Amino acid sequence: MSKERLEAYLKEKGVTSARILTFERPTITVEDAEKQLGTSREKIIKSMIFIDENGVPVVGIVTGDKMVDEEKLTKACEAKRIKIARPSAVKNLTGYEVGAMPPVGFKKPIRTFIDPKVLSFDKVYGGGGAINALLEIDPKDVKKLISGKVVDISK
């Protein structure tokens, strides 16, 4: 998958206000994105994939100044335990590399939980489908596109 596939997905879903920003340098980490954008890390979102004890994937989305609280996410998805997905699993599940993975447009739907702080902004920045791209999007569009459940999952 690529940023072009992400652009096509957004167009297909009628999300016209989102845009993909491309940079000369990588934007893999929150710190990289913060430097490239010149914005607060709060407006940068992290989409993290976890796998529960039954092998079922779950996504947690938090702002860049926070971490996913695995205990809270485990409770939210009614699992006994979760663990962070390996990069190969992330690629297989979403079609995107770690560090390039957007919050939307996965190969298959994955149950997703969004921290409420994410929705407090007019626009946020997440992975843009390539290691040097970021998706600028209204967090309400993220919630709608993935049918995300809003739950406190940050620490």
Give per-residue pLDDT as tens, 108-130: 899 999 999 999 999 999 999 99
User: How far is residue 82's CA from residue 87's CA, in Å, rounded to a whole number?
Assistant: 15
Q: Could you tell me the pTM of the whole model?
A: 0.95
- Give 1's pLDDT tier (boundaries 50, 70, 90): low
Class of domain 3-150: alpha beta
pLDDT, residue 3, reads 84
To the nearest whole percent, how much of the chain has pLDDT over 90?
Answer: 94
Neighbours of 63 (CB within 10 A): 23
For residue 41, the SS3 value is helix
17-56 pLDDT, tens digit per residue, is 999 999 999 999 999 999 999 999 999 999 999 999 999 9
Domain ranges of the chain: 3-150
Name residues whose C-beta falls within 8 Å of residue 111's C-beta, 6 or more positions apart in sequence: 56, 57, 58, 59, 77, 149
List the structure tokens of 89: 């699993």
When the pLDDT of each residue in the chain is averaged and rounded to a whole number, the result is 95
59-88 pLDDT, tens digit per residue, is 999 999 999 999 999 999 999 999 999 999
pLDDT, residue 105, reads 92
Strand positions, DSSP E, 12-76? 19-22, 45-52, 57-63
52-64 pLDDT, tens digit per residue, is 999 999 999 999 9
